[in-house]
């Protein structure tokens, strides 16, 4: 091989090596285009409940409506939740957070997550509740919510008809007190309910500002009436319920309103 051929082969080899090196460098430094992992929720009305932590029973509720694609604060009020705090629930969108409590039947925890808001209920007749713009059911002496996980009616409002009873436990919707005088059904574990994941979760009237519930979210009657006058089924109202730290981490992903939490 003469000097000229040797130089040509050397040049080709060097060029190939440079191309390989450059290719490896590009493979390491060029990033793929960003992938949008945010989720737009369907609702135009939003109740946000935040607590200081997973074990806290007291929290604050914020009511927002969407105007020109932005969440606008309408009101706020104190609430109480389950006497044992919060547990991750089963809502509209699966949210996985490591090392947190999981909502289970009878655990005295309110469900955390993102939920649609369902039927309104109360002690009033339908004529007296025509101002409510959500579906409404009167809490009669025979209306119950089934909390027996072995029942085919688990987590469902039904009439306590002896002919179809297959449950051993239930929640009476017409109580001797005013807790359920007005309320809203929270759709936790509502689609194909999983036995034992929790049932009969409501927004209702509280006893006071320091006594927790069995798993519901409760407030003063005046505050609940304001929500019932405001809420409209056609706006697809939702409830977001989380501890402050988790809400601050997740609000951008789900296009939730920013709340300046201390």
Q: What is the pTM of this model?
A: 0.85
For the chain, helix (H) and strand (E) counts, in that order, are 3, 13
Taking a C-beta distance cutoff of 8 angstroms, is the pair 134, 119 a contact? Answer: yes
**SS3 at position 197:** coil
Alpha-carbon distance of 127 to 143, in angstroms, equals: 18
pLDDT tens-digit series, residues 211-261: 999 999 999 999 999 999 999 999 999 999 999 999 999 999 999 999 987
Q: Where exactly are the structural domains of the chain?
A: 1-30, 45-250
pLDDT tens by residue, 35-66 = 344 677 889 999 999 999 999 999 999 999 99
pLDDT > 90? residue 5: no
Question: What separation, in Å, do the N-terminal and C-terminal C-alpha atoms of the chain show?
Answer: 79
Query: Per-residue pLDDT tens for 59-85?
Result: 999 999 999 999 999 999 999 999 999
Per residue, what are the HEC states of 148-189? Answer: CCCCCCCCCEEECCHHHCCCCCEEECCCCCCCCCEEEEECCC
């Amino acid at each position: 091989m003469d000097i000229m051929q040797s130089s040509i082969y050397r040049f080709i080899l060097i060029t190939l090596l440079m191309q390989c090196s450059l290719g490896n460098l590009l493979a390491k430094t060029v990033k793929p285009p960003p992938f949008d992992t945010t989720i737009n929720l369907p609702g135009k009305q939003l109740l946000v409940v935040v607590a200081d932590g997973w074990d806290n029973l007291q929290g604050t509720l914020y009511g927002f409506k969407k105007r020109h694609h932005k969440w606008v604060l309408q009101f706020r009020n104190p609430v109480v939740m389950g006497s044992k705090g919060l547990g991750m629930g089963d809502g509209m969108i699966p949210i996985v957070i490591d090392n947190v409590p999981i909502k289970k039947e009878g655990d005295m925890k309110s469900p955390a997550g993102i939920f649609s808001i369902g039927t309104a209920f109360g002690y009033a007749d339908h004529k007296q509740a025509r101002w409510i713009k959500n579906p409404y059911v009167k809490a009669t002496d025979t209306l119950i919510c089934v909390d027996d996980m072995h029942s085919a009616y688990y987590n469902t409002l039904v009439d306590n008809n002896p002919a179809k009873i297959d449950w051993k436990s239930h929640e009476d919707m017409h109580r001797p007190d005013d807790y359920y005088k007005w309320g809203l059904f929270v759709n936790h574990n509502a689609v194909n309910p999983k036995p034992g994941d929790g049932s009969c979760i409501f927004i209702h009237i509280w006893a006071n500002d320091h006594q927790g519930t069995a798993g519901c979210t409760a407030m003063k009657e005046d505050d609940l009436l304001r929500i019932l006058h405001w809420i409209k089924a056609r706006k697809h109202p939702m409830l977001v319920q989380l501890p402050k730290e988790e809400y601050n981490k997740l609000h951008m992903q789900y296009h939730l309103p920013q709340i300046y939490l201390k």
